[in-house]
Amino acid sequence: MTNLPDARGHFGPYGGRFVPEVLMAPLEELEAAYAEARVDPAFQAELADLLENYAGRPTPLYFAKRLSESLGGARIYLKREDLLHTGAHKINNCIGQALLAIRMGKRRIIAETGAGQHGVATASVCALFGLDCTVYMGEEDMRRQRLNVFRMRMLGAKVVGVTNGSRTLKDAISEAMRDWVTNVSTTHYLLGSALGAHPYPMMVRDFHQCIGKEARQQILAKEGRLPDTLIACVGGGSNAIGLFHAFLGDSGVRMIGAEAGGRSLKLGEHAARFDGGIPGVLQGTFSYLLQDDDGQIALTHSVSAGLDYASVGPEHAYLHDQKRVLYTSVSDADALAAAQRLSRTEGIIPALESSHAVAEAIKRAPSAKGEIFIVNLSGRGDKDTDIYRENLKELDASE
């Protein structure tokens, strides 16, 4: 289970490489460059140095004492990816891919972003390395994540609004792919989740594996044993696979991926791919996919822009079918309530994406006395202030 994907990028039946022919040779080139970098001590040393000194790794594994006590059950630890530079786990992958792009001689970087966290992390590493940066973002997401749009521009990136489709993450990825198809000789597509065509799902996972490796050591040091349950939110699934991967061989560790349950589980009102999705191909990979009877991609909804996507990383599809990871969905309302509860009990305002994982922990903890949970707090909530204000109006009344 830990030695996947196979040579052609398959996780069981999922994954692969479903792109126009123009992109096939560039993907082969990327795969070869990554295979070299992966075993190059100089590359790994530079990556490790930047993760420590620029991004701020290792991140703490924090025991959320008041949250745990208030629930009266499991001991809940938070893996504090929210404390990383730029505010989310996304920076791990961005540093890795930017180093790889430089190694390949590509000085122009494009990226898609949903919540804006990946866009901000990409814009930051491009500034750091002096790379040209263009970020595609759905106009609906630009509206709900205004602060991150400004941050990207302040960092020197060009933010291009996408007006197609639902004007969210999926449409931003399509537009980034169109740019890449056109400018492929000069441009690296810095894809931000464990999605897309091979080698992206593998490569993005590898760059986030530090999350689980650290958490595993940290929990052993603090508790002297492995955790009972890991919980992470799953949009494309990069933070979740980053946490889970180091524990896949530990059969006693249960893993839960929290998808966006949105307003309801009616098609079009959520982004719970494992609750109504059917395997299909979108944007380079074969995985669970929310679609209609004619194979058209369904619209999705989540209060959290980063989880609002019709497909899911192919390794998650595989882990789902293997029953190694349990995927569940958390509604908009429960995620918002969890964000407020974590803020009040621990003094931590989580990102809306991560709030889905916190909500799942809140639901499960009371009946899990004596157990240890690790929740991946993948990002911080500053960027979501506008959405929290819209949804917590009682806190926003003027004097």
Partner 1 sequence: MFERRKAEGKPALVAYLTAGDPSPAATAGLVAALERGGADLIELGVPFSDPVADGPVIQRGADRALKAGMTLSRVLDVAKEVRKNSQIPMLLFSYLNPMLRYGFAKLAKDAKAAGIDGVLMTDASVEEAQTYVDAMRAEGLDTVFLAAPTSTERRLELVAKYSSGFVYLVSRTGVTGEQESLSDPIGPLVASMRKYTQLPLAVGFGISKHEQFKSVGSMADGVVVGSALVRVVEQHGASPNLEAELEAFTRRLVDGGA
Residues annotated catalytic, as ranges: 90, 112, 378
The least distance separating partner 1 from the CB of residue 284, rounded to whole angstroms, comes to 8
The 8-class DSSP code of residue 324 comes to S
- Residue 368 makes CB contacts below 8 A (sequence gap 6+) with 73, 74, 228, 229
With respect to partner 1, which residue has the nearer C-beta, 26 or 96? 26
The stretch among 113-121, 138-146, 295-303, 350-358 that binds partner 1 (CB under 8 A) is 295-303
The least distance separating partner 1 from the CB of residue 294, rounded to whole angstroms, comes to 4
Q: What CA–CA distances, in Å, run from 394 to 19, 206, 265, 399?
A: 48, 43, 28, 12
Q: CA angle, 116 as apex, 245 and 271 as ends, to 5°?
A: 60
- What is d(CA 359, CA 365) in angstroms, rounded to the nearest whole number? 10
The stretch among 151-159, 173-181, 347-355, 365-373 that binds partner 1 (CB under 8 A) is 173-181
294 binds partner 1 (CB under 8 A): yes
The residue ranges of DSSP E strands in 101-165, in sequence order, are 108-113, 132-138, 158-162
Contacts with partner 1 by CB under 8 A: the residue count is 37
174 binds partner 1 (CB under 8 A): yes
Rounded to an integer, what is the distance from CA 313 to the centroid of its chain? Answer: 10
In the set 23, 50, 335, 372, which binds partner 1 (CB under 8 A)? Answer: 23
- Residue 220 makes CB contacts below 8 A (sequence gap 6+) with 226
With respect to partner 1, which residue has the nearer C-beta, 168 or 378? 168
105 binds partner 1 (CB under 8 A): no
In the set 2, 3, 185, 251, which binds partner 1 (CB under 8 A)? Answer: 185
In the set 5, 26, 138, 277, which binds partner 1 (CB under 8 A)? Answer: 26
With respect to partner 1, which residue has the nearer C-beta, 17 or 89? 17
The stretch among 121-129, 154-162, 273-281, 355-363 that binds partner 1 (CB under 8 A) is 273-281
379 binds partner 1 (CB under 8 A): no
In the set 78, 111, 152, 177, which binds partner 1 (CB under 8 A)? Answer: 177
The residue ranges of DSSP E strands in the chain, in sequence order, are 10-11, 14-18, 61-63, 75-79, 108-113, 132-138, 158-162, 187-189, 229-233, 254-262, 278-282, 284-289, 325-331, 372-376
Give burial (CB, 10 Å; 0-12/13-18/19+) of 148.
buried
Q: Which of 291, 199, 208, 274 is nearest to 235 (CA)?
A: 274
2 binds partner 1 (CB under 8 A): no
In the set 51, 76, 204, 297, which binds partner 1 (CB under 8 A)? Answer: 297
In the set 75, 79, 89, 170, which binds partner 1 (CB under 8 A)? Answer: 170
With respect to partner 1, which residue has the nearer C-beta, 71 or 177? 177
